[in-house]
Structure 1
């Protein structure tokens, strides 16, 4: 039997450093896999959508317009109201008929949040049929609100 009695100088020291070469190889393989798989995961189907040519819904005899002007003043028809008084004024104009379609027209410069405050107040009062007034392709508004004069 052989035993070592003393440490000799020809022993190599223990290597405690991490070999990063296999790590880099794995990362490069994963990069190649994702580079190949990413374009395959997106669906690009060319679709030519048809132009909507449906006629507009029939306009009520006396539409109710809620107008939000550039200075954030609110009107129902031609009467100026506050946001707090809006549900009461709508009840008066619609004779408490909650299924009446209401039309909102707002200035282009009105912030989206202000428009949503008005719509939320209307929905909170029970008016769920709300239409937005905009300009159609021919350049005319549909439906056209009545002329509003400044007080």
Structure 2
């Protein structure tokens, strides 16, 4: 009885299995991802330049993303880095309250420049309180020479 010929003889010549990995497509994809991250990273670091006051308070523990209201040295208001005119600030605060009607009030971080008039900050806090937004945290930085953490998580690296 004749035993069949080896598989390579029956079907013609077969190539041996390839044992190398072609890394060229992997390198191409990684370079494209690197370029995308290099272009988008500066866009993620935005904020309003505010010189925050210093204190010795501990950092707040929070899980949800707060609404950030910033007041710079010129008294201009920003809600989540979007400029808001003085005339429409109350309307925007009312929109925030209406969006959370029937729910627990959202956490509001109020960032005000240390050089700003105290009355301006109190007017914004009064408008927030009038709309029922009473979970307000005043953001500050750690006092120089103190071992305390910031009073709230830093909103942007441009905070002084």
TM range (shorter): 0.5 to 0.7
Aligned residue among 110, 135, 138 for 2:141: 135
Give the number of aligned pairs: 96
Aligned residue among 73, 80, 83 for 2:76: 73
* CA displacement, residues 2-25 of structure 1 (integer Å, 9 cap, x when unaligned): xxxxxxxxxxxxxxxxxxxxxxxx
For residues 54-93 of structure 1, what are the structure 2 equivalents within 5 Å?
A: 56-93=59-96
Q: State the shift of 1:78 in Å.
A: 1.1
Once residues 78 and 66 of structure 2 are traced to their aligned partners in structure 1, the CA distance between those partners, rounded to angstroms, is 14
Match of 2:155 in 1: 145
Q: Which has the higher contact order (CA 8 A, sep 6+)?
A: 2
Q: Compare CA radii of gyration and give the structure with the larger one.
A: 1
* CA displacement, residues 116-142 of structure 1 (integer Å, 9 cap, x when unaligned): 011111111221111100112447642
Once residues 75 and 61 of structure 1 are traced to their aligned partners in structure 2, the CA distance between those partners, rounded to angstroms, is 20
What TM-score, normalized to structure 1?
A: 0.52
Match of 1:101 in 2: 107
* CA displacement, residues 64-97 of structure 1 (integer Å, 9 cap, x when unaligned): 1100000000000011112342243245456621
Once residues 121 and 148 of structure 2 are traced to their aligned partners in structure 1, the CA distance between those partners, rounded to angstroms, is 22
What TM-score, normalized to structure 2?
A: 0.50
Question: What is the CA RMSD across the aligned residues, in angstroms?
Answer: 2.9
Once residues 73 and 57 of structure 1 are traced to their aligned partners in structure 2, the CA distance between those partners, rounded to angstroms, is 26
Q: Which runs of 4+ in 1 moved over 3 A?
A: 90-95, 137-141
SS in 1 for 2:99: coil
Once residues 102 and 82 of structure 1 are traced to their aligned partners in structure 2, the CA distance between those partners, rounded to angstroms, is 19
Change (3 A) 1:147 1:80: farther
SS in 2 for 1:85: helix
Once residues 144 and 100 of structure 1 are traced to their aligned partners in structure 2, the CA distance between those partners, rounded to angstroms, is 18
Match of 1:113 in 2: 119
Partners of 2:97 and 2:132 within 8 A in 1:
no
Match of 1:123 in 2: 129
